[in-house]
Amino acid sequence: MVADRSQVSDIYMTVEQYLTLDEATDAKYEFENGYVFMVRPPSTAYDDQAVDMAGGSVAHAGVCAQLTYLLVGALRGKPCRAYTSDARMKLAERQYYYPDITVACGQQTGSMLQNPTVVIEVLSPATEKRDRGAKFKTYKTLPTVQEYMLVGSEKKTIELYRREGDFWRQYHYREGDLVELTSLGVRFPFDEVYYGIDL
């Protein structure tokens, strides 16, 4: 298929073919208008060599874990829940993604998340262009998505895009700030996102 998440396959697929591929192995693929992006290679790829996965760094994994931890605690008792990148999200008939973290409200059933409120992508060199470009453009088309957060894994940065009417307003957070997800009524210290993580 593809060498990494920044490349697409040269074979056009239907939605049905994509879903069959994505469910046939323990690999994960995203789908965008007929093109497939590898998010995680199948486990057989690890038999005799190291393979760079989405994110690919200890810092990326640590930031994802820390953010999930912060959100799970902050959402306790609320009707919303944080989900890791193991949960596939259907955005449109021909678009399926695995965001690093998704917060969805209400009952979630089946194999795909519905009605996401907040989407978080932790940036890495292999994924940053798509996270900032095509994926953000797609997330903006979903009326339930109220906030989109981009979090650095090579330097300490948090960018938040918040839907305000028909526009998206950008907020930048840095050390010492309190990060606020107004759509969830959640706040947490910027410094906690990077606690114990060496960049």
Q: List the CATH number of the domain containing 86.
A: 3.90.1570.10
Q: Name the nearest CA neighbour of 51 among 20, 87, 26, 84.
A: 26
**39 located within any domain:** no
**19 located within any domain:** no
Please tell me the predicted confidence (pLDDT) of residue 2. 32
Please tell me the predicted confidence (pLDDT) of residue 140. 92
Tokens of 13: 């697929």
Tokens of 98: 């695995």
Cα–Cα distance measured from residue 169 to residue 87, given in angstroms and rounded to the nearest whole number: 27
Q: How many structural domains is the chain composed of?
A: 1
**116 located within any domain:** yes
- Please, which pLDDT band fits residue 22 given cuts at 50, 70 and 90? confident
What are the pLDDT digits (tens) for 25-39? Answer: 777 787 887 778 777
CB contact at 8 A, 190 and 66: no
**75 located within any domain:** yes
Task: Give strand pairing partners of 164.
Answer: 167
Dihedral angle of Cα 88, 81, 190, 169, to the nearest 10 degrees:
70
Task: Please give the share of the chain, as a percent, with pLDDT higher than 70.
Answer: 87
Q: What is the amino acid identity at position 48?
A: D
**103 located within any domain:** yes
- Please, which pLDDT band fits residue 126 given cuts at 50, 70 and 90? confident
| Residue 41 pLDDT exceeds 90 | no
**Which H helix or E strand runs over 179?**
strand 178-181
**pTM of the full structure:** 0.79
CB contact at 8 A, 14 and 21: no
Q: What is the mean pLDDT of residues 124-151?
A: 92
Domain enclosing residue 128, as ranges: 58-193
Task: Please give the share of the chain, as a percent, with pLDDT higher than 90.
Answer: 53
- Please, which pLDDT band fits residue 51 given cuts at 50, 70 and 90? very low
Q: What average pLDDT is seen over the chain?
A: 84
**115 located within any domain:** yes
Of 23 and 60, which is predicted with more confidence? 60
What are the pLDDT digits (tens) for 53-75? Answer: 444 789 999 999 999 999 999 99
Cα–Cα distance measured from residue 161 to residue 147, given in angstroms and rounded to the nearest whole number: 6
**126 located within any domain:** yes
Three-class SS state of 70? helix
- Please, which pLDDT band fits residue 130 given cuts at 50, 70 and 90? confident
**95 located within any domain:** yes
